[in-house]
Structure formats: C-alpha cells, structure tokens
Amino acid sequence: MPSPYRALFAAPGSRRFSVAGFLGRMPLSMMGIGVVTMISQISGRYGLAGALSATIALAAAAIGPQISRLVDQFGQRRVLRPAALVALASAAGLLLATSFGGPDWVLFVCAAGIGAVPSLGAMVRARWANLYRGTPLLHTAYSFESVVDEVCFIVGPIVSIGLSTAWFPEAGPLLAACFLAVGVFWLTAQRSTEPEPHPRARHGGGSALRSRGLQVLVATFVATGTIFGAVDVVTVAFADERGHKGAASVVLALYAAGSCVAGIVFGLLRLPGAPQRRWLLGICAMAVSMIPLLLVGNLPFLAVALFVAGLSIAPTMITTMSLIEEHVPRAQSTEGMTWISTGLAVGVALGSSVAGWVIDAAGARAGYGVPAVSGAVAVAVGFLGYRRLSRPAPRRGGTVEQHSEREERHVA
C-alpha cells in the first residue's frame, strides 16, 4: 500500500472502524440489485423489480438524512442500532413475502422499511474527518473510502447476483441483511473513534441542506444517481437477453473497478486549482462516458465501455466530499455527507424505475438511453449551479472550520 494510505492507519482504532464500515456498506451494492434479481427470477417482472428497488432507494433518501441529523446530535451508537433493526425487520418481511407469494403492496411496504438502513459511508467518513480534519491526510482518507465504496460495488453484485442465480433467489438480499447487522453493531461498539455529538444543533442552524453549495451538489447527484440505477438494471436485462444473466455481475464489477483504479491514483495526487473545477470536469466526463453504451452489441464491448466509464466516478465523489467540508458546518458534517447519498438514492430510484419500464417496452439496448439522458441533465445542472460552489455561503463569512471555531467560542 502506498505510504499516504499506510499513514492513515497510524491512528488507534482506524483499521477496525474501516473494516466495520466496509461490511456495513456491502448492502448498498447488494440489496437493490439482489431484489431486482430475486423478483425477476421468481416472477419475470422487471417493472416490479425496478419499482421495488426504486422504493428502497427513495425511502433511504427520505429517511437517511434524518437519521444522520440525529447522529450529529446524539451520536452514532444511540441512533444507528435502532435504525438498523428497523431495516433488518423490513428485509426479513420482504424475503418472506416474496417466498410465500405475498401481495405486491406488502412487498412495497417492506421495501420502504429497508430505507431505514443507515449511511455507513457517511459515518466512517465522519470518523476520518474527526481524526484528520485540516490535514492532507483527509484527502487521502476520502480517496480510500471511495475505493472502499467501489470495492463494495465490485464484490457486492457478484456475490448477490451469483448467490441468487446459483443457489436460491432470496440468497443475495439475505446475505446483504447479514452484512448490515454485523457492520452496524461492530462499528457502534467502537466508542473511542466515534465523533462527539453536537447537542446544540437541535436548537438552531436548521438542516445542512440550507447551504446553497450543498443544494447544487445534491441536485447534480440526483441526475448522477439516475445513471447508476439505470446502468444496473439495464445491464442485468442486457445480459439476460443474451442468455448470460450471471455475467451481469462481472460486467458491473468492471464498472466499479474502473472507479476503484481511478480513486487509488487520485488519492496519491495533490492537484492545484479550485476543487469545484475538478468536480465539474468529473461530471462532464461521466456524462460523455455514457454515449458509447448506446452502441453496445455484446457483453465484451459493454464490459470495456463500463470500465472506462467508471474512471470518472471516484475522483468526482472524492472532490464532492471536499466541497462538503467547505460548504457545511462541522456540527452537520454527517448530515451533509448523507444528503449526497440521498441525492444519489433518489437518482437510483428514478433510474432503476424508468429503465425497468423502458426495458419492458422496448428491450434492454434501448434502456441505455436513460443513463445517456441523465448524464446530459447532470452536466446542465452542474453548469447552472457552478457559481454557488465558487463562493462561500454569506452566512458563514469564511471557511466551515473558521465558522465552527467562532461558534464554539461564542457558545463557550
């Protein structure tokens, strides 16, 4: 491991919370695609499969920021464990209802309950920020976490789709629920690295989403999430049409592998210039990379195209987290990171649902038009909101850290 990454783990407890966060994030890549695979195998209804996956994502989008806001106020242990229990009970209900032929409305209720799953990525990043805020190692930490995210998306779909197709349809979502339980309860058992809560956030400041810069980031990532959701569903259907449904997990893993490679390299760099410029360039690169998917005719070509498309993901996400540090107060950092996940979740819901309808109506190849259009929308939103990212919010009068320090002195 290159020395900047090795230096991250000099802090006591950092290895343990990083591993726990990895396990707890596996459901992010396993549950949605596992539900799509499970429902499509049992009923053959891609529209229903995409709608259930979208319901999970939308519920997470609605509930996730509220959970993270409570975490900022009361601490990770007190909030994450009850939230995880709700998500686990809902996942069990979904699997049982699917196995015993329950009505569609029961499936949707259970899918909505799974949305209570905590954003473990935001929790782990908050621990890194608590350790390394204001140092170059924080950039390395965010890069490392983006790589971990992509490893989850490499391993998760392979395991989820592979188990559901080779063993029994419910196997993928079931294992995802097990990972969630282990990750959340292990992470919250590690008290020494848990960030201190900020009880005063209960009484003022409002939501982190009041930040104009954060609004731009979230809006753009709604469109970006639409790309991800559509690519997942369309790729499964594309492979199924060609008689190799199990190969979809490998193809999607290469998509994540491209991002993983880019994230490792990006974490070693110290690039000059404004981060918002790098962010906008990344959004444009993601959009352009969707165009070749419209021309795919076989799985090998699709695999190469998705690997190249993945190269722009991690650098863009890493830069986004750095921008959150500039535009969101420290007492709301976990909530701010979760709003990015919320934007992605809303987009994934839209992308998976719309892609499912397009597939049912016109076939899998036509479905790749959904991420292409979504990429164009992301670029448009990014350009329209760029000026908001180029200047600090007036109410802060400086950087987030300066604002937080002044606030702490005032309270003291």
d(Cα 40, Cα 50) in Å, to the nearest integer? 9
d(Cα 305, Cα 295) in Å, to the nearest integer? 10
Residue ranges of the chain with per-residue pLDDT less than 70:
1-2, 199-209, 272-273, 330-331, 390-412
pLDDT score at 378: 92
Amino acid found at 221: F
pLDDT score at 290: 92
Whether 348 contacts 225, CB under 8 Å: yes
d(Cα 17, Cα 305) in Å, to the nearest integer? 34
Phi, psi dihedral angles at 231 (to 5 degrees):
-60, -40
Measured CA to CA in angstroms, residue 400 lies from 160, 205, 391, 403, 412 at distances of 40, 13, 12, 5, 18
DSSP state of 210: G
pLDDT score at 201: 47
pLDDT score at 205: 54
d(Cα 89, Cα 292) in Å, to the nearest integer? 41
Whether 407 contacts 227, CB under 8 Å: no
101-157 pLDDT, tens digit each: 778 888 899 998 998 888 888 888 888 888 887 787 887 888 888 888 878 877 777
pLDDT score at 391: 62
pLDDT score at 87: 92
Predicted TM-score (pTM) of the model is 0.72
Amino acid found at 408: E
275-326 pLDDT, tens digit each: 788 888 989 999 999 999 888 878 889 899 999 998 988 888 888 887 877 7
In sequence order, what DSSP letters do the residues of 32-76 get, joined into one string? Answer: HHHHHHHHHHHH--HHHHHHHHHHHHHHHHHHHHHHHHHHHHH-H
In sequence order, what DSSP letters do the residues of 275-287 get, joined into one string? Answer: HHHHHHHHHHHHH
Q: Does domain 16-196+209-393 have CATH number 1.20.1250.20?
A: yes
Whether 366 contacts 243, CB under 8 Å: no
pLDDT score at 203: 43
pLDDT score at 405: 35
pLDDT score at 82: 92
- Domain ranges in the chain are 16-196+209-393
